[in-house]
Amino acid sequence: MPTLFTRIINGEIPSTKVWEDDRCIAFRDINPTAPTHVLVVPRQEITRLDQMTEADEGLVGHLMRVATLVAREEGLNDFRVVVNNGAGAGQSVFHLHVHVIGGRSLSWPPG
Ligand code: DGP
């Protein structure tokens, strides 16, 4: 079964895309927690960050770089990049994704 995010990547489920390339896409989170809340998602289905292999290092680095490019396009100087790994850490969609969150003051530590 394709993941929810693969279905978004394939256009079966609509999304507001802000970035697309051969390795990943980025689209606005359906339930934003800040004025900018974008998800950067690899086309390759990796369940969660701790399932990445050495072969995925370049891809995961690319996701981080795209996160910064999206933040720049959104006009953000300060922003947060988050990966929730596992349900206990808040992961609800089991297809690796990087949250890019910004546009308001962000407190630390997160909940
Ligand atoms: P996480 O909890 O870290 O697995 O983040 C999953 C995020 O995915 C969550 O912030 C809400 C978002 N999301 C869930 N379903 C959809 C959807 O159908 N469309 C969009 N754009 N975002 C979704």
pLDDT digits (tens, 9 = 90+) for 75-104: 999 999 999 999 999 999 999 999 999 999
Q: Say how many Å lie between the CA of residue 81 and the centre of ligand 1.
A: 15
Ligand 1 touching residue 2 (CB < 6 A): no
Q: Say how many Å lie between the CA of residue 55 and the centre of ligand 1.
A: 26
- The DSSP string of 29-78 is -SS-SSSEEEEEEESS--SSGGG--GGGHHHHHHHHHHHHHHHHHTT-SS
Decide if 97 is catalytic: yes
Cis before 35? omega within 30: no
Ligand 1 atom closest to Cα of 16?
21
Architecture in CATH for domain 4-102: 2-Layer Sandwich (3.30)
Query: What tens digit of pLDDT does each residue of 5-56 get?
Result: 999 999 999 999 999 999 999 999 999 999 999 999 999 999 999 999 999 9
Q: Which two tokens stand for residue 72?
A: 């720049």
Q: Say how far apart CA 44 and CA 97 lie, in whole Å.
A: 11
The model carries a pTM of 0.98
Which residues 6+ apart lie within 8 Å of 88 measured at CB?
none
CA 66 remoteness from chain centre: 9
Q: Kindly report the CA angle at 84 between 78 and 90, in degrees rounded to 5? A: 115
How many residues would you count in the chain? 111
Going by alpha carbons, the residue nearest to atom 18 of ligand 1 is 30
Q: In this predicted structure, what is the pLDDT of residue 97?
A: 98
Ligand 1 atom closest to Cα of 31?
11
As beta bridge partners, residue 41 has 25
Q: In this predicted structure, what is the pLDDT of residue 111?
A: 80
